Chains A and B, each alone.
Chain A
Amino acid sequence: MEKPFILHMLTTAKNLSPFDVNMAMDAGWISAVPYINVEPSEVRGLVQDAIFSRSPKGLLRTAIFIGGRETKQAMDMLKMAKNSMVPPFEVSVFADPSGAFTTAAGMVAAVEKELQDKFHTTLEGKNVLALGGTGPVGQAAAVIAAQAGAAVRIIGRQLDKAERIAELCSEEFGDGKINVSAGADADKAEYMKTADVVFATGAAGIELLSAELIAAAPQLKVVADVNAVPPAGIAGVDAFDNGKPLAGSISGAVALGALAIGNIKYQAQSRLLKRMLESDTPLFLHFEHAFDVAREFIRTTN
């Protein structure tokens, strides 16, 4: 009898996200086992317990998922997990804290598609504003867009926090190869004069971009809002918008709403979960890989 597919699901939070559990089961994992309130220092022990209890062949049917709420912590845990493997005793690991990596990947891939379809251009050299960008989704989106060649600025209400997060994105997540900058929410109007793309990834129920600022943006091309709860994070964007002209834009910008982004996010998460099932070498997956599969999904469905 073939061994069952087992996904060990680690989270630093009190509970797993039922979202991740459903996704894992639907991707084909037979058992999804929760480990909650996990301290980063416990990762090594848990990983080694997982790898030393199956043969290398059985380990091909075993993987670890890292949830939680925090980007840096999840990336650190992913690194620790990778360093705890003892080849040939090793398993795949996928970090997606609060689904932020796949959400960010879905959003950036959708934006890239709109830039291509409506403006025949790419992210390369575009000015991107990540509004409410200090949270997990904003951080990952900033890094992914910067890695695709965009000039990304993280906008937050507290400038010092935005600066700290921008540096974390550039140095830690971008490996020093990208340069994400920061700006204060109060200076938003100034930045909108040169913005090509806007991501809205703030807390639900807060309007981050007003109709006035949209009307005053001369080169705005695509806006994306991950908020599905009214009021919208970007004035005039509906959760169902999928490349619809943005009301009041003088530059012909189009809008992406939460459900259009969510669809690609879903595909990206599902594909990475399946990739771990099928791979015959261990994979260590995070936002970069999420972006790869999100792009792949868009390419294959066009």
Chain B
Amino acid sequence: MSKRSILHMFDPMPNNSPFDVNMALDAGFDVLMPYSNVKLESIHNLTQDVIFSRSPSGVKKTAIFIGGRDMGLAIDMLEACKPAMVPPFQVSVFADPSGAYTTAAALVACVEASLGKIHGKSLAGSKALVFGGTGPVGIATGVIASLQGAETYLVDHLSLDTANDVVKQYNRRFNAHMLGAVAHNDAEKAALLADADIVFCTAKAGIRVLSAAVLAQARQLKVAGDVNAVPPSGIEGLDFNHSATPLLNAIQAENPVGVGALSIGNIKYKLQQTLLKSLLETETPLFIDFRDAFEKARTLV
């Protein structure tokens, strides 16, 4: 009997995410094994237990998934897996905490595509705002956009210190150049939005971040992307099925368009499926983080 494929799902949270579980089973893994409350210092031993219990042909049908809610911790765990491998006993590892990496990769890839197609621009040289910027999707979005050359602001809704702390930490880690900002109210949002080219909305589901009145202050907005699928949408007038659809509420801007959660979700879904399947198909072990996810997302849009 041929060996079944096994995905070991390491998660620092008390439980795995049902999101990751559905995705992994749909990608074709036969068996999922959840590991919850995993600590960074346990990764080495867990990884070696994974690799030394199957033959080199068996480990090809074995992979590790790293979940959780913490974007930085997931990267640390991914890095901690690498030195634990002992070739030919090695497996692929895919980090995607709460799907944040693939969501961010799909969001930036969708926005980038609309920016190029409709406005003939690239991310480099554009000013981008990430609302909900200090959450996992927001941080990954900001890092990807910044690494593509956008002047990227991570916007927190409560505290400039929080935004600046996050920015400092992730700039150092990934050689990015993000900036921190805070927007407590509509006036502060409008001020930030006045000369922004791009808006990424990665705030909590069901929270309206930008009202029509605020959008009316945007003078050079080109593309807005919103990952919120639970009504109301994060950006007023941007529906979850919009796909490079005119964003009518930004009345001062020239031909602004919006990309909604469903369009982004479709790419994200394909992306996560492609990456999960690649774990089973690869001959040499893969180590996948959000940067790899973005490169793959670009080929999908």
Chain A residues with a Cβ under 8 A of chain B: 1, 3-4, 6, 8, 30-31, 33-38, 42, 46-50, 52-54, 58, 62, 86, 89
Contacts and interface: CB of A to CB of B under 8 A. Distances in A.
B16 interface: yes
Contacts of A49: 17-20, 98
Contacts of B22: 6, 50, 53-54, 58, 62
Interface in B268-294: 269
B16 A33 contact: yes
Contacts of B32: 31, 33
19 contacts: A3-B25, A3-B26, A8-B18, A31-B21, A31-B25, A33-B34, A35-B15, A35-B18, A47-B18, A48-B205, A49-B18, A49-B20, A50-B18, A53-B20, A53-B23, A53-B99, A54-B22, A54-B26, A86-B230
B83 interface: no
Interface in B118-141: none
Nearest to B261: A52
Interface string B3-36: 0000000000011111111110110100010101
A86 B18 contact: no
A165 B68 CA distance: 39
Given A8-B21, A48-B205, A52-B229, A35 B26 contact: no
B265 interface: yes
A36 B34 CA distance: 11
B230 A4 contact: no
Nearest to A49: B19
Nearest to A55: B269
Contacts of A35: 15-16, 18
A35 B9 CA distance: 13
B301 to A, nearest CB: 19
A58 to B, nearest CB: 7
Contacts of A42: 15
B19 A36 contact: no
A268 to B, nearest CB: 26
Interface residues of B, number: 24
Contacts of A47: 18
Contact of B18 (A4, A37, A53, A89): A53
Interface of B: 14-23, 25-26, 28, 32, 34, 36, 98-99, 205, 229-231, 265, 269
B230 A48 contact: yes
A89 B205 CA distance: 14
B135 to A, nearest CB: 13
Contacts of B265: 52
A34 B34 contact: yes
Contacts of B231: 86
Contacts of A89: 229
B201 to A, nearest CB: 16
A142 B251 CA distance: 62
Contacts of A54: 22, 26
B295 to A, nearest CB: 22
Nearest to B21: A33
Contacts of A48: 205, 230
B19 A50 contact: yes
A36 B229 CA distance: 27
A58 B21 contact: no
A38 B32 CA distance: 20
A58 B26 contact: yes
A-B complex: 9 closest residue pairs judged by Cβ atoms: A50-B18, A49-B19, A53-B22, A53-B19, A35-B15, A49-B18, A49-B17, A8-B18, A33-B21
Contact of A36 (B14, B26, B98, B230): B14
A89 B32 CA distance: 23
A46 B26 contact: no
Given A50-B19, A52-B19, A53-B22, A37 B98 contact: no
A2 to B, nearest CB: 10
A35 B28 CA distance: 21
Nearest to A8: B18
B20 to A, nearest CB: 8
A46 B25 contact: no
A68 B63 CA distance: 32
A232 to B, nearest CB: 40
Contacts of A34: 34
Contacts of A86: 229-231
Given A34-B34, A35-B16, A89-B229, 20 more contacts: A3-B26, A6-B21, A31-B21, A33-B18, A33-B21, A33-B32, A36-B14, A37-B14, A46-B15, A46-B17, A48-B230, A49-B18, A50-B18, A50-B19, A50-B22, A52-B265, A53-B19, A53-B269, A86-B229, A86-B231
